Chain A
Amino acid sequence: MRPALGRHLLIVPLLTVLSVFFVVPYANMVAISLMEASHRAAYVPVFTISNYTSLIESGFTWGVIWHTLWLGALTTAICLLISYPVAWQMARANSRTRAALMILVIAPLLVGVLIRTYGWMILLQDSGIINQLLRAMGFAPLHLMYNDTGVVIGLTHVFIPFMVLPIASTIQSIDPELELAARNLGAGPWRSFRRVVLPLSLPGVMAGTVLVFVLAVSSYVIPQLLGGFTVLTVPVLVIHTISELFNWPGGSAFAVLFFVITALVIWFYLRTIGRVTHAG
């Protein structure tokens, strides 16, 4: 029995760290969201649900939540459109080409989100590279930053790798012979894609879309730097409530509420897709 016991010692350190510094802090945050806010202390240990009720009754809150979900959905849709061809090409390439393409997709992921956002700031500003090029070609400059456009461009760029990798890995497990058979039996490229590849790659699409949506609605840097003060999202407002207004119970309640709403949206999305595919 001794070796069995000894083996479990391997997990004890990490389990301790995760329990004390991950599980407990989250529970603590939920607890604080149910306490009274105060001007004198971070919170007063008195139970109340007023943090939640005042959020739910406020039209402003719902406006920000709705806008955040909309930006997330738009980003997810554009990411999917852009990532699918890249994923297909990667999955169907020989192993040398695949390694090269993989490097191109993963490299931006390893450069911090802040640096990539800064790159977009240089490109998208009113006096930025894109507008300089537009002017040089005689076009009117575009307003690309400090609005939703800039935020969606930034979010899409940052999260593409999270869409490409799961889709590529499911496409790779589809037998290429199936596509070839469909084409040889007379199906056009679009039809063979829609009837053969797309349905079989659906698990990858589902994983990718959920991942990108979660990351997009919880992003803070991009709406802050590319949206300026004009684009208000839930993470921006939560951080403002906590670190500038010092209303910890209010900020925690907003974070918990939005977490629950996001989970519901994803549950509804997965259920709908499940139904559609089973019916079709």
Chain B
Amino acid sequence: MQARRLERVGFNVVTTAIYAFLLAPLVIVVLSALNAGTYLRFPPQGVSVRWFVEFAHSRSFMDSLGFSLRLAAIVTVVATILGTMASLWLTRVSGRFRSALQVLIIAPLAVPGILTGIALLLFFYTLGWRQTGLADLIIGHTLICVPYVVLIVGAVLARQDKTLVEAARNLGAGPLRTFWRVTLPLSKGGIICGAVFAFVTSYDDFNISLLLSGVGATPLPIQLFDYLRFSFDPTPAVAGTISIAITALVVLLVQRLIGLDALYFGKK
């Protein structure tokens, strides 16, 4: 028994080290944003909001932040509507066509985003759109956000009791009324989670945006990338800290609404 306990302790030490590795860069980004000096040193030179002020005064960063939020909001609405409709369809049909469509819906996540970006750039050019910008980004982001909505809403719909819908229909409610009064209230949590995932995916996307961003239409990650190629100071850490704060909120929200656990293991 002694040996097994020792095994356990050793094992937990290893996994704790791995979690430290996973979280290290995130912790470092937050520390660096709050650090008073230009470079992060040990011991740190004190806490300051200097870099937050710098970020707020930077025209290009603030413009990109605003643009990213606007883009993510539009994409969230589009992806949530398209994705929820598709999930409802997927729960109601079966057969070969259904499996083929399931593959097609997930495909934009399975192929490299960089490649999809290239394909879209070339396609828009072929169509005669010579300037990339907001519309192109909305289309590109929608492709990679819809799969999350479909997966999450689909998982929630699959756990729902189908007899409730049948009961509503048998009692004389039309399909639209059944949706508004029965299906929607029951899947609200899943739809919100799907929307939240779509928002974060769009807000953080780099690969699709790289080639599709345009003049006055530069999402924050692209702006940060351009900045980091030529300079290195803690201003990007502020953007990172904002992003980490959003993530923390999202995780808490999803955990409260449907539970991350249910999401990734399918069933309990």
Chain A positions within 8 Å of B, measured between CB atoms, are 3, 6-8, 10-11, 13-15, 17-18, 21-26, 28-29, 32, 42, 82, 85-86, 89, 95, 98-99, 102-108, 110-123, 127, 129, 132-133, 136, 157, 160, 165, 168-169, 172, 189, 214-215, 218, 220-221, 224-225, 235, 238-239, 242-243, 248, 251-252, 255, 259
Closest residue of chain B to A106 (Cβ to Cβ) is B260
Identify which of B39, B118, B260 contacts A252 (C-beta below 8 A).
B118
Contacts of B260 in A (CB 8 A): 99, 102-103, 106
Contact A235 B112 (CB under 8 A): yes
Q: Does B22 contact A108, Cβ atoms closer than 8 Å?
A: yes
Determine the chain A residues whose CB is within 8 A of the CB of B116 once the complex forms: 22, 25-26
Q: Is there an interface contact between A242 and B211, defined as CB atoms closer than 8 Å?
A: yes
Given A11-B101, A119-B25, decide whether A102 and B107 contact each other with a Cβ distance below 8 A.
Answer: no
Is the CB of B99 closer than 8 A to any CB of chain A? no
CA distance A190 to B225 in the complex (A): 45
Nearest chain-A residue to B143 (Cβ)? A22
Measured CB to CB, the closest approach of chain B to A267, in angstroms, equals 15
Tally of chain B residues near chain A (CB < 8 A): 87
Considering only CB atoms, which chain B residue lies closest to A13 in the complex? Answer: B82
B218 close to A (CB within 8 Å):
no
Residue pair B211, A243 in contact (C-beta under 8 Å): yes
Q: How far is the CA of A162 from the CA of B108 in the complex (A)?
A: 16
Say if the beta carbon of B37 comes within 8 Å of chain A: no
**Contact sample, A vs B, 6 pairs, CB 8 Å cutoff:** A116-B25, A132-B42, A157-B22, A168-B264, A169-B266, A172-B265
Contacts of B111 in A (CB 8 A): 26
B122 and A14 contacting across the interface, CB-CB below 8 Å: no
A-B CB pair tally, cutoff 8 Å: 231
B2 at the interface (CB under 8 A from A): no
19 A-B pairs besides A106-B251, A117-B25, A238-B118 with CB distance below 8 A are A7-B89, A14-B86, A18-B104, A22-B107, A22-B108, A25-B122, A26-B119, A115-B29, A115-B239, A122-B28, A122-B29, A122-B32, A122-B237, A165-B264, A168-B265, A172-B265, A220-B210, A225-B225, A239-B210
Interface of A is mostly: helix
- CB-based nearest B residue for A236: B114
Residues on B with C-beta less than 8 A from A172 are 265
B105 CB-CB contact with A under 8 Å? yes
B26 within 8 A of A: yes
* Chain A residues near B41 (CB-CB < 8 A): 132
Contact check, B22 vs A118: say whether CB atoms are below 8 A apart: no
Task: Out of B18, B25, B114, B265, name the residue touching A218 (CB < 8 Å).
Answer: B114
B3-40 contacts to A (CB < 8 Å): 7, 11-12, 14-15, 18-19, 21-26, 28-29, 32, 39-40
B residues less than 8 Å from A127 (CB atoms) = 39
Q: Are B123 and A105 in contact (CB under 8 A)?
A: no
Contact call A99/B250, Cβ cutoff below 8 A = no
6 tightest Cβ-Cβ pairs between the two chains A and B: A119-B25, A112-B204, A218-B112, A25-B123, A10-B89, A25-B119
- A113 & B206 in contact (Cβ 8 Å cutoff): yes
Interface set, chain B 91-148, CB cutoff 8 A to A: 92-93, 101, 104-105, 107-108, 110-116, 118-123, 125-126, 139-140, 142-143, 146
**Which residue of the partner chain A has the closest CB to B265?**
A169
Q: In the complex, A111 Cα to B18 Cα: how many Å?
A: 18
Contact across chains for B22 and A111 when beta carbons are under 8 A apart: no
